[in-house]
Amino acid sequence: MKIAKLALAAVALAATPVVAHAQDVGATVYGNDGQPIGTVESNDGTTAVIKVGEFTAPLPLNIFGQGENGPTLNATRDAVYAQLKAADEQAKAAAAEAQAKAAAEMAAKVDAALVAGAAVLSADAQPAGVVATIDNEMDAVVVEREGGVVTLKREHFAVDANGALMALFTVAQLDGATVAIPEGAEIATSAE
């Protein structure tokens, strides 16, 4: 019976350093092949963040073992790195997909709002003029402003949170690009 108690105490003592050692920031974590996997960057008491190459991985402390050199994981560095790289690539692809979807949605909103006669706001939310003409072939949108016109491209427009057409320039920038209309000249509209 005493041997069983001693064995149980030895197991308890052996288990304690695993968690304590795995919590040490800066500790090297080894794989099941005895090779280093990465380094502990941080620990919040339940999760250790391990740096493996350019990636970090939050891992629960209860998955760490204890080897001759320190904390271990039941995997090789190559396997852990491959999983982290795959997860990173998947996250990047999802982000790119979300960005493309948002851009397509914005383009559709701009297409709906960008019509002759539409009021245009500046990027600093000031009245900037009215769409006079749209030449899709030349990708030119002429905005009639007080004191002249400014020609922009379709990509220079967005729709604000209220659905208003907005040029992606401030009033000051638009003022600097505005060309005066000679007296008596008329702006050809899209319908002309």
- Is there a single domain that holds both residue 76 and residue 128? no
- Is there a single domain that holds both residue 6 and residue 95? yes
For residue 54, being part of any structural domain is answered with yes
Question: Is pLDDT above 80 for 130?
Answer: yes
Question: Is pLDDT above 90 for 104?
Answer: yes
- Is there a single domain that holds both residue 16 and residue 73? yes
Domain range for 127 is 114-177
For residue 56, being part of any structural domain is answered with yes
- Is there a single domain that holds both residue 62 and residue 131? no
For residue 109, being part of any structural domain is answered with no
Q: How confident is the model at residue 71 (pLDDT cuts 50, 70, 90)?
A: very high
CATH number of the domain to which 149 belongs: 3.90.50.10
Could you tell me the pTM of the whole model? 0.60
* Measured distance CA(69)–CA(133) in Å, rounded: 73
Q: How confident is the model at residue 181 (pLDDT cuts 50, 70, 90)?
A: confident
For residue 125, being part of any structural domain is answered with yes
CATH number of the domain to which 76 belongs: 2.30.30.240
For residue 14, being part of any structural domain is answered with yes
Q: What is the pLDDT of residue 160?
A: 92
Q: What is the pLDDT of residues 133-155, one digit of tens each?
A: 999 899 999 999 998 999 999 99
